[in-house]
Amino acid sequence: MTQRLDGRVAVITGAGSGIGLATARRFASEGAKVVCVDLDAETGAKAASEVGGLFIEADVTDEQAVRDLFQRVVDEFGRLDITFNNAGISPPDDDSILVTGLDAWKRVQEVNLTSVYLCCKYAIPHMQRQGKGSIINTASFVAVMGAATSQISYSASKGGVLAMSRELGVQFAREGIRVNALCPGPVNTPLLQELFAKDPERAARRLVHIPLGRFAEPEEIAAAVAFLASDDSSFMTANTFLVDGGISGA
Ligand code: NAI
């Protein structure tokens, strides 16, 4: 495999599971120095040890923790090239606007959207000093289309990530910092498995709408993240990058 990320320092939030874990493996295989960030100390440390990277235990909704984590990365490695803002949570069980309470709504915005705001806020100054950087923010296909199953707080949080990424991509383009939003379709990870365990019919309902006829594997999303992180995507910024099995095109 080509070493597209040779020596690049990459932060991945939510690296202990699913898409984040697959991306940690992919980044490492492409030569990056990987910093695995997760709330879950056990899975996060395991991921970091597997890829020979650094683990930082942090809650990405905590401003001080986010500021400290990026400072620590720069103190240890001298630079920050890539930030993959991927940590997120699934919607509440019934995420209809008629059901979702304000506390549940706020929690989803905090983890899925405010965390991305915080991580961009504290990653960008380090990238500005280098005059280069690539930020990939995980949105979702539900940011660009209505989902068959109502998920109002989740869709709104991901729509926010998409709009914020576009805005930041435009704002910092002339400083060499690229910001793109990644929109996966349904991916076979613990997050999705948890949703389907609560509502087994949901999987069948979803599959009908995916032209490729299956869910993505986390490695397929990681391949797209590696592309966005690397110079192979050097003319892409403020982009909505759909990796969704055709669901949004159907
Ligand atoms: P996952 O549940 O397998 O992994 C999420 C990771 O984020 C976990 O390791 C968890 O501990 C960590 N995390 C959660 N809250 C955190 C916090 N406050 N601070 C630090 N770490 C935290 O989830 P998955 O499926 O890999 O999802 C990753 C991202 O992709 C999420 O943003 C999700 O919304 C998004 N996504 C997932 C899709 C899917 O079908 N699985 C589809 C589209 C988007």
Instruction: Return the best residue to mutate from 60, 68, 191 for the ligand 1 pocket (most ligand atoms within 8 A of CB).
Output: 191
Catalytic residue flag (residue 154): yes
Q: What pLDDT, on the 0 to 100 scale, is given for residue 1?
A: 54
Over range 112-137, report the average pLDDT.
Answer: 98
Q: Scanning the structure block, which residue is given the tokens 């069948």?
A: 204
Ligand 1 atom nearest to CA at 194: 2
pTM to 2 decimal places: 0.97
- Token pair recorded at residue 75: 């103190």
Over range 188-212, report the average pLDDT.
Answer: 89
Q: Please tell me if the CB atom of residue 191 comes closer than 6 angstroms to any atom of ligand 1.
A: yes
Distance CA 30, CA 4 (A): 6
**pLDDT tens per residue across span 60-111:** 999 999 999 999 999 999 999 999 999 999 988 889 999 999 999 999 999 9
**pLDDT tens per residue across span 20-52:** 999 999 999 999 999 999 999 999 999 999 999
ipTM above 0.95, yes or no: yes
Q: What pLDDT, on the 0 to 100 scale, is given for residue 188?
A: 96
Q: Please tell me if the CB atom of residue 23 comes closer than 6 angstroms to any atom of ligand 1.
A: no
Task: Yes or no: say if 127 and 177 are a contact pair by the CB < 8 Å rule.
Answer: yes
Distance CA 114, CA 121 (A): 10
Q: Give how far Cα 197 sits from Cα of 49, 96, 201, 203, Å.
A: 30, 18, 9, 9
